[in-house]
Amino acid sequence: MLGGQFLLWSGLFLAADPVPALPPPVPVGPRVGVAAAPQGYTITLARGPAELLRDMVDGADEKAIAKSLRDEAARKKESTDKATADNAAQLELVAFLVSSQLPAFKKALHENMGPHGVVIRVSGLQAPQVKFRKPRPKLERAAQLLRETMPLLPEEARDAVEAMRAVARTTPLVWKVEPR
């Protein structure tokens, strides 16, 4: 009779106090990662680096940055060198992008900071291969050798090289910040 009461009480004890469910495990990976994606690339930041980026972007004054870029562009426009004048147009474009996109990026980082960081997805136009503005024969040869030896590399090295190629080949048009 005593053994039956013990089983009854221990069963009630276990039934009354359920074990709480644990959150699903989070895969451990590098604190900062870049990976190739269709039409672009992704940047994965763990919580620490994501907070560091958020704090740095918060401290940036997009109006002051854009003004200094425009001032530099105006200075370069006065040059008689055609390459320097083309560089001035690019600086003006960057100044426009900074003034228009930085506030939205700040807001997206604040709103989408997940418990494990953020994933930034960048997509845009992709060139078939990395292009150099000026002829750089040694660098072009190194890129060609890398393309030829890609099948011989370990999978991790291939993924890293492919990610860097995606960054170099992509002209960013769209970005999205997602929680991790």
Give the residue carrying structure tokens 């320097």. Answer: 84
Question: Hey, which residues does 124 pair with through a beta bridge?
Answer: 172
Distances (CA, A) of 78 to 30, 52, 73, 86: 46, 38, 9, 11
Domain map of the chain by residue range?
29-179
| Predicted pLDDT of residue 112 | 94
Q: Write down the pTM of the prediction.
A: 0.72
**DSSP β-ladder status, 118-126 and 40-45:** antiparallel
Query: What pLDDT is attached to residue 118?
Result: 94
pLDDT mean by block of 10 residues, the chain; 180 residues: 49 56 72 90 92 91 88 82 74 84 91 92 87 82 86 90 88 90
pLDDT at 109: 93
> Which pLDDT score, from 0 to 100, does residue 49 have?
92
Q: What is the pLDDT of residue 17?
A: 53
Q: 118-126 and 170-179: which strand pairing?
A: antiparallel
Q: What per-residue confidence (pLDDT) applies to 98?
A: 83
| pLDDT value of residue 7 | 46
Instruction: Provide the pLDDT for residue 6.
Output: 47
Residue 26 is predicted with a pLDDT of 65
Neighbour tally for 87: CB within 10 Å: 16
